[in-house]
Structure formats: C-alpha cells, structure tokens
Amino acid sequence: MTRSISILGATGSVGEQTLDLIRRERDNWRVEALTANGSVVKLAEMAREFDAKLAVLADEARLGELQETLAGSGVEAAAGADALCEAAARPVDLTIAAIVGCAGLGPTMAAIEQGGTVALANKEALVSAGDVMTAAVAQHGATLLPVDSEHNAIFQCLQGNRIEDVSCITLTASGGPFRTWTADQLEAATPQQAVAHPNWEMGAKISVDSATMMNKGLEYIEAHHLFPVGLGALRIIVHPQSVVHSLVEFRDRSTLAQLGPSDMRVPIASCLAWPHRMDTPMESLDLAAIGELTFCAPDENRFPATKLCRQAIEVGRAAPAVLNAANEVAVSSFLSGQIGFTRITAMVEEVLNRYDPPAPRALDDVLAVDREARSVAMLELN
C-alpha cells in the first residue's frame, strides 16, 4: 500500500539517504512535501524526481528563484518559517524531521501537532524542548520514532520488552576523529580535520559535534526524554568500530545490543518500514573480517562536553536549551575560523554560567531562551 511522506531537511545528509531508500521502492511512497534551507537547485531536482506536491525553502528571499526553477513541474513552491511549519503540518503517514539545529524545532512541533508519526533526526529540537515536545506528543497522540543510530538501536532492543525492566541503557560513541589526540593536538585541530569522521558520512555541524563528543552528550539528553529510565541508568561508552550502536541491560542482567553497518540508511529504513522491515543496499556485517570490537570509558578531561550535557540535564530548567544554542553558535564560529577547536566547549560552559532562565512551558518560551542564549554566546566571541 502506498504511504505518504514529508521530509523536512531533504537536502541534508539524512534527507538524501531517506530519498535514496524511497527511490528503491518508488511505488510504495507518495512524497507530499520536501523542505530545504537555501539549496534551490537541489531541492527543485528532488521535488521533480519524486513528484512532490510542495517544495519549501527556509530562505524567503529565494522564493522567486525556486518558483522559476520549478516552473512547469506542477510542484507548489513556498518559502519562509511559516511555510515550513505549514508544510510540516500537512497530514501524512510519516514525517522525517531532519532540519539541523534549533531551526527545526517549529516544523517538528507542527508535525507532532498533526498527530501522525514523526521520525526524529533532529536531536537539538528534543534537547531544547524536551518536556514541551514530549507533552505535545502525548496531547496529540503522535508517534515519535528515533532516527539517530543510537536511539534507534535502543528502540529496537526495547521491542517486546517493558521499560520498567530496564536497569541500564548504554549509548556507544565512536570517539570521533580526535579520539587518540593529545590536548596539545586538539588545540590546533582545524575544521577540515574535525569534519572528517572516520566511520560516518554526516553534515559539518554534527561531525564537529562528534569530534568534541558534544553529539554524544546531546544524545544522552535526548535518551533521557525518549526512554524514561532515570539519569542514573544512562551510560556512555566509546566504541571506535561503530558496529554496536547501543546496548540495553535488563533487571535479570541480560543485555541486548543492536549491531549494524555504519550507515544512516539502516536506522532510517527501520523508521520507514516500522513496525516491519525493508531491504537496504547495505552489505551484511562480516564480524570475522572486522576481527574485534573494543570499548573504553570516555575521557572527560580531553572531551568535557559529555560532562557539560550531563550537568545541564541534571540542573534542568532551561539549561539544555541554553547549552544547545551556545553550542550551535560555537560550532558555527569554529567552522568559520573565528575560534579554535577547544574553545567550543569552553564557550558553551561560559554561556551556561552566565544565563540561567526558568524552565520553558511552551514553544515560544523555548524559542525565546534560544534567542537570548545565542546573544550571550555572541558576546563571548567579542
């Protein structure tokens, strides 16, 4: 049976890999809406190929260019923040929420409020608006499926089990490209080196987050909201091979782990086919060829981001939203050459120490905290 889908952030890494899977089962899918930030030509090409009903740009100033590029295709064009939310609110069987950063929060909430199934690849939205978002999921009867490989692995391990029987959840981390680097080497790390992840093909922002280990800290916060086992039952372990994507230990001391190739098409396929399975183009794991799987504790002296994230969710209130906003500003500043690599986490910590607003109660509160935290972070650059 044909299913309808909208992809928020279609031109990003997750969006492209989602469309790659859909292309392989084209008759099973009807594409409702595709969105992008400012990639006019790429978005138009995707919309034409997949016969999307609607293509939306975040950059409102480029609407005319998008309309011209789509002329004669029958694809409706729109642009701007309101248009993104309107696209996300269209009723479909599945929405892929893959807009990077807090910019994806509004559209993701709009998708949740239409009560459908939302595959969440935007961890920053849940980090910033955890309680607000989970309350909206419950209020509107939506279903939230995790796309991140780690959370998707946990989700799979929990199938057929009760959350009450979980004693521990362990998120695995590759350690990023700088796992074995000394503190002195980290000081001199360049953006080009930081985005060269050894195992995964990802966008620049998430690659830098992986290099600082902030990505794993954000996933720790996300796991807290997705799997309510208590902060004391959440762990992080470094696993350089990125074969074991997460582990769940139960009260009887049985541990289930989900293993798979280091390719986001695997967890994306899990969401596309849920509650069933579908084929992917990936090769089967060859454990004999891999040879060994190793694990070690994270080094929070060289990579303090995980500790910052743990402290932020322990503090609660708006601390996770402040942390996320400060990190987005810091990562952008690093990628543009304004600050050094180790300054990213230091800058986030400084913003957390300077700005401590009350807990947000609604989406507008979250967005207000995000704006103010970014202003504080910008002051730290000067």
The domains found in the chain, sorted by start residue, are: 3-146 (3.40.50.720), 150-315 (no CATH)
List, as one string, the DSSP characters of 156-204: HHHTTS-GGGEEEEEEEE---TTTT--HHHHHT--HHHHT--SS----H
- DSSP-derived secondary structure for 66-105: HHHHTTTS--EEEESHHHHHHHHTS--SEEEE---SGGGH
Whether 6 and 118 have beta carbons less than 8 Å apart is answered as: no
Taking phi over 0 as left and psi of -120 to 50 as alpha, with beta for the rest, 115 belongs to: left
Query: What per-residue confidence (pLDDT) applies to 200?
Result: 80
pLDDT at 198 over 90: no
Element holding 255 (H helix, E strand):
strand 255-259
Give the model's pLDDT for residue 202: 84
pLDDT at 199: 82
What's the pLDDT score for residue 368? 97
Average pLDDT, the chain: 96
CB atoms within 10 A of CB 335: 18
Give the pLDDT score at 101: 85
* pLDDT score for 248: 98
Separation of alpha carbons 104 and 116, rounded Å? 17
Provide mean pLDDT across the span 161-174.
97
Structure tokens at 354: 């300077």
Per the DSSP assignment, residues forming a β-bridge with 258 are: 246
Mind listing the pLDDT tens digit for each residue in 103-160? 899 999 999 999 999 999 988 899 999 999 999 999 999 999 999 999 999 999 999 9
> Does residue 197 carry a pLDDT above 90?
no
- Closest alpha carbon to 250 in 233, 236, 230: 233
Neighbour-count burial of 37, counting CB atoms closer than 10 A to its CB (0-12 exposed, 13-18 middle, 19+ buried): middle
d(CA 14, CA 267): 10
| Cβ–Cβ < 8 Å for 306, 210 | no
Angle among Cα 350, 335, 357 to the nearest 5 degrees reads 30
pLDDT of residue 269: 98
- Token digits for 232? 């004391």
What is the per-residue pLDDT for 71?
A: 97
Say if residue 382's pLDDT is above 80. no
Distance CA 79, CA 261 (A): 36
- pLDDT range class, residue 201, cuts 50, 70, 90: confident
Per-residue pLDDT of 4-57, as tens digits, reads 999 999 999 999 999 999 999 999 999 999 999 999 999 999 999 999 999 999
> In this prediction, what percent of the chain has a pLDDT beyond 70?
100
Listing from the earlier edge strand, what are the strands of the sheet with 244-250? 234-238, 166-173, 244-250, 255-259
pLDDT tens track for 327-337: 999 999 999 99
Residue 180 pLDDT > 90, yes or no?
yes
